[in-house]
Structure 1
Amino acid sequence: MFAAAMELFLTNFLAALPLFALIAIGYLAATVKLVTPAIGQALSKFAFNIALPILLFRLMSDITHLPPPDWNIALAFFGSCFLVFAIGRFLGHRFLNLNSDERTIFGMAAVFSNNVQLGIPVAVALLGQEAMPSIAIIFSLNGFLMWTLVTIAIELGRAKSPSILTTVTKGTLQTIRNPIVIGIILGFLWSISNLSMPVPMAKTIAMMADAAAPVALFAVGVGLTQYRITANLSTTLLITFLKLGLQPLVVYGLCRIFNLGHEAMQATCLLACLPVGVNVYIMAQEFKVMQGATANSLLVTTALASVTMPLIMSCLGLL
C-alpha cells in the first residue's frame, strides 16, 4: 500500500514538476543576472494583462459544450477562505502578538492563493479544459471578495467607520476592470453566441494562449529573487502551515459537505493547495504592514508547493 501511495505521489509530482521547473529557471536567470527584475515585471504585466486573459478567452469560448458549473464550488472555496482567515487572525494575536492591521494581512496570506500566474497553468496542465467552469467561478470572485474583505477588516481595525456599500461598489468596479475577468466574460459571451472563429483569429489566439503559461511561470521565478528570508521565520512558517496545510484540508472538508463532484472537487482543492499570491504583498505595501513576512511567505510557499501540492492531492485521491 505504501509503495502504491509513493508511486501515485511520484507520478503527480513529475506531472507538476515542469511547471515549477519554469519558475526555477526564471529564478536562476534573474539570480545570475541574465534578466533584470524590470524584465520580470514587464513579463508579468504581459502575462496578466494580455496572455492569460487570451488563454482564458480561448478556454471559455468553448465552455457551453462542457457541463455547467456547480455554484457550491464558491461556497466551498470561499468558505474555507473566511474560516482560515479567522483562524489566522486568532493565531496571529495569540502566538505572534500582532496588532489588528498585521493580523488582517497575516490572515490574508493564509488564504489568498496565486490563482492567476500559477493557478491557471497548473489547473489547465493537470486537470484539462474540463476544470474551466470550476476555476472560472473562483477566478471571477477571488480578487473582489478578498480585497473587499481585507479593506473592511483594516478600516474597521483603524476605527474609520467605513462605508460597506462604498467598499463593495469599489471592489465590484475593480473586478469588472480586471483583465482576467474580462477574458472570462468575453470568452463566455463568444461561446453562447455560437459564432465560428475565423482561422487567422483562432491561430493568433492559440499562439498567444500557448505563451501564457511559460511566460507567467518564468515571471514568477524572476519576481521571487526580490524576496529574502530574514528575521520573520516564525511568522513565515505559521503562514506556510496555514496556507499549504490547513486551507487545502478545510476546502476538502467543505467540498464533502457540499457534495461536490469529483472534477469540481479536484479544481477547488488544487487552487487551495497553491502558494501565497503576490496580491498579499501588494496588500501589505498598500497598508504598510507585514511587508517582510509576506515577501518571505511568497518565496517559501512557492518553493514548497512543488512538493506539497502533488502530495496533498495524491493523499486526498484527487489526482
Structure 2
Amino acid sequence: MSALLDVVLPVFVVIGAGYLVVWMGWFAQSGVDGLIRFTQNFAIPCLLFTAISQLDLAQSFNAPLLISFYVGALAGFALGTFGARVIFGRPWDQAIAIGFCCLFSNTVLLGLPITERAYGTDALSANFAIIALHSPFCYGVGITAMEIVRARETAAGGVARKVLKAIFSNALIIGIGLGFIVNISGLSLPATMQEGLDLISGAALPAALFGLGGVLVQYRPEGDLRVIAMVCAVSLVVHPAITLGLGTLFNLPAGAMRSAVLTGAMAPGVNAYIFANMYGAARRVAASAVLIGTALSILSAWVWLGMLP
C-alpha cells in the first residue's frame, strides 16, 4: 500500500490536477496546447539531451535490457495488430493503429516519474537507454507496417523516406541525438549553459504530467470497449510480463529489471493517438485506450512495483 500512496498516487495527483482545472474551465485548452508544445518540443528534449550526454553508455546500453523490453513491445504490437484483425475483424490499417497503441508505452510522462519516485534519480539510467531507442523503434515499426498495407505499390525507398522523415523531425529524437554527439565526442558544455538546461529540464516532468491531464479531457471513453480492453491488457500486463520473463532469463540486474518492467507496464502514450490521427485510423480506440489505460496504470503500476525486487 505504501508504494501506491508514496510512489504512484503523487504522479496521478498532478495528472488529475491538470484534468480538473481544464474540465472546470479554469485553464484554457489553448494553454494546455502551449504547455504540451513546451514540454514536448523544448523541456523534455533538454532533459533527454542532458541525461544522454552524461550517461555511461557502456554500462547503460546492454543488450539483455533492450532485448527484454523491445521483444515485449514488439510482441505487444503483433498481438494488438492480429487481435484487432482476426478477433475483431478490423481493416488492416485500423489493426496496425491499434497494434501501435500496444507498442508505444508512455515511457517519459509515466515511466520516468514513477521509476524516479520508487527508486530515486540514480535508477533512471536504464530508463534513458530505453527511451533513447523508443521513438525510432516504435515509429519505424508502425509507419513501415502502415505504409506497406496502405500503399503496396510504393517503392521501398518511398517508405523508407517517410519513416526517416517522421523519426528525425521529432524533437525528442533531435535532443537524444545531440546528447549522443556530446557524450561520444567528450565535449563539455559551458557551466552557464548547462545550468540553464538543467532549469528547463527541471520543469519537464511536472509540466508534462499536468499537461497530460489537460489533454486527456479531450478524450472520451466511447464504444469499442472490447478492443480497448485488449489494448489495456496487452499494454499493462502482457508487455511487462514478457519483459520480466526475458529479464529473468537473462539474469538482468535488479535496477535494470525494475526500469524495464515498470516502463513496459505503462499505458499507451499520447503518441498512440497522434499516430492514429496521422493516418485517420482507429482514432476513437486510440483516444479511449490512452485515457482508460492511464487511469488503470494507477493500479497496474502498484501491482508491478509489489512484484519487483
Q: TM-score when scaled to structure 1?
A: 0.87
C-alpha contact (below 8 Å) 2:148/2:159 kept by paired residues: no
SS in structure 2 at match of 1:276:
coil
SS of 2:59's equivalent in the other structure is coil
AA of the residue aligned to 1:10: S
Residue 299 of structure 1 deviates from its aligned partner by 0.7
- Is this contact kept in 2: 1:127–1:267, CA < 8 A? no
Matched, 1:30 2:14: no
User: Alignment partner of 1:113: what SS?
Assistant: coil
Partner amino acid, structure 1, of 2:66: A
Secondary structure class of the residue paired with 1:263? helix
Q: Which among 98, 108, 113 is matched to residue 90 of structure 2?
A: 98
SS of 1:110's partner is helix
Cα RMSD (Å)? 2.4
Gap runs ≥5 in structure 1: 1-8
Quick one: percent identity of the two aligned structures?
A: 28
- Displacement after TM superposition at 1:267 (Å): 1.2
Q: Structure 2, unaligned stretches of length 5 or more?
A: none
- 4+ residue segments displaced more than 4 Å: 191-199
The aligned counterpart of 1:4 is: none
Mapping of 1:260-271 within 5 angstroms?
A: 260-271=252-263
The whole-number CA distance in structure 2 between the counterparts of 1:161 and 1:250 is 35
2:44 aligned to which of 48, 52, 55:
52
Instruction: State the distance in 1 between where 2:235 and 2:44 align.
Output: 24
Q: Match of 2:35, as an amino acid?
A: L
1:230 pairs with 2:222: yes
Of 193, 197, 205, the residue aligned with 1:213 is 205
Residue in structure 1 matched with residue 280 of structure 2 by the alignment? 288
> After alignment, is 119-128 or 38-47 more displaced?
119-128
Scaled by the length of structure 2, the TM-score of the pair is 0.90
The structure-2 alpha-carbon separation of the partners of 1:203 and 1:148, relative to structure 1 and needing over 3 Å to count, comes to closer
C-alpha spacing 1:65/1:290, structure 2 compared with 1 (3 Å): closer
1:75 to 47, 67, 70: 67
Matched residue of 2:267: which SS? coil
Aligned to 1:182: 174
Checking the alignment, whether the CA contact within 8 Å between 1:152 and 1:162 is kept in structure 2 is no
* Higher deviation after alignment, 31-40 or 191-200: 191-200
Note the C-alpha offset of 1:240: 1.1
**Partner of residue 16, structure 1:** 8
2:65 is the counterpart of 1:84: no
Aligned AA (1:25): A
CA separation of 1:162 and 1:71: change in aligned 2, threshold 3 A: farther
Task: Render the CA deviation track for 1:51-71: whole Å, top value 9, x for unaligned.
Answer: 112222333343239834312
The residue type equivalent to 2:49 in the other structure is F
Aligned length: 309
SS class of match (1:160):
coil
* Structure 2 residue matching 1:63: 3-state secondary structure: coil
Q: Distance in 2 between matches of 1:168 and 1:253?
A: 33
Decide which of 129, 139, 146 is 2:131's aligned counterpart: 139
Deviations 1:128-155 (A, max 9, x none): 4434442233222222222222223223
CA distance in 2, matches of 1:275, 1:214: 18
Deviation at 1:87, TM superposition (A): 1.6
* 1:118 matched to 2:105: no
Between 173-182 and 34-43, the greater mean CA deviation after superposition: 173-182
Bigger drift between 14-23 and 148-157 goes to 148-157
| Structure 1 residue 96: Cα displacement | 1.6
